[in-house]
């Protein structure tokens, strides 16, 4: 069973089916999760399971933007505008930069072609300077507790000083460019999880992203979002951004859907 942080608030629990898991074991675990008031989803095993396997390409998109000169506060603001409860820099601070660093290494070993580490990322720089996020009150942001003891973030100019020699000069990215560079790796990895039978259906994949990560509920999930935009248009966007690396390459399933004018939620 894989819970999500904060456990008392996040409704999703991933039930990971092992190679030798019996149907009785899976059914019992699903019932146990439901008795706890959680929404269980059964997935097959792989590095990161389902949700974290999709989350880390999203973080990789953020690190690439930082490498290319984006400002982390602006990226956070744009992604919050897209509907996320928090932007990627803030989320990394909440997760913990040490936890994220370890998980990124696991994902790089599991999926070296797409998630291999080829440069020192902004997140790695934070980790190497012991800026672990909220757990030690300094990450991309600096944190101070309010009257109720809750951590409140403030921008920290020193972040850019630490990154100065690792990234390009700071420059302006427009809102659409930021959104696409962040969301395309997230969407394509979700599609690959369907291709690899890590998750059985588009509906379950969408539920996992909404309940496990806070994907904007009004967008219905990444697969519903692809249907809204159109597979052919998403494919064209992948082709536009594929120069950024394998994370942006279109999965075979997306190409097939675009060719056949198909959707994940086929009309009855």
pLDDT in tens, 37-80: 999 999 999 999 999 999 999 999 999 999 999 999 999 999 99
For residue 266, what pLDDT is reported? 84
Taking residues 115-119, report their average pLDDT: 93
**Rounded to whole angstroms, what are the CA distances from 79 to 158, 236, 257?**
23, 22, 27
Q: What is the pTM of this model?
A: 0.95
Q: CA 142 → CA 135, 136, 219, distances in Å?
A: 11, 9, 31
CA angle 170, 174, 178 (to 5 degrees): 85
pLDDT of residue 267: 59
Give me the architecture of the 51-163 domain, per CATH: Orthogonal Bundle (1.10)
- Told to judge if 225 belongs to the known catalytic residues of this protein, a careful annotator would answer no
Other CB atoms within a 10 A radius of the CB of residue 77 amount to 14
Nearest Cα residue to 28 out of 1, 9, 2, 5: 1
Range list for CATH 1.10.1040.50 in the chain? 51-163
Token reading at 208: 């996992």
H or E stretch including 260? helix 252-260
SS3 of residue 172 by DSSP: coil
> Residue 202: how many CA atoms within 13 Å on its side-chain side?
18
């Amino acid at each position: 069973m894989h819970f999500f942080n904060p456990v008392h608030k996040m409704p999703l629990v991933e039930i990971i089916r092992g190679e030798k898991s019996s149907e009785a074991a899976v059914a019992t675990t699903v019932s146990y999760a439901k008795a706890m008031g959680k929404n269980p989803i059964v997935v097959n095993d792989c590095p990161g399971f389902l949700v974290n396997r999709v989350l880390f390409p999203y973080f990789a998109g953020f690190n690439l933007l930082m490498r290319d000169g984006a400002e982390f506060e602006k990226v956070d603001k744009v992604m919050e505008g897209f509907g996320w409860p928090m932007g990627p820099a803030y989320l990394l601070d909440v997760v913990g930069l040490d936890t994220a660093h370890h998980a990124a290494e696991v994902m790089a070993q599991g999926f070296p072609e797409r998630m291999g580490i080829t440069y020192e990322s902004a997140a790695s720089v934070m980790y190497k300077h012991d800026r672990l996020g909220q757990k030690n009150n300094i990450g991309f942001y600096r944190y101070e507790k309010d009257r109720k003891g809750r951590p409140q973030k403030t921008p920290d100019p020193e972040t850019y000083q630490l990154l100065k020699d690792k990234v390009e000069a700071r420059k302006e990215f427009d809102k659409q460019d930021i959104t696409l560079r962040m969301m395309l790796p997230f969407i394509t990895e979700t599609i690959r999880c369907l291709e690899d039978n890590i998750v059985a259906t588009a509906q379950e994949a969408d539920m996992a992203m909404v309940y496990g990560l806070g994907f904007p509920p009004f967008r219905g999930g990444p697969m519903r979002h692809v249907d809204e935009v159109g597979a052919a248009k998403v494919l064209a966007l992948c082709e536009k951004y594929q120069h950024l690396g394998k994370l942006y390459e279109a999965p075979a399933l997306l190409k097939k859907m675009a060719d056949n004018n198909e959707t994940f939620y086929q009309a009855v």
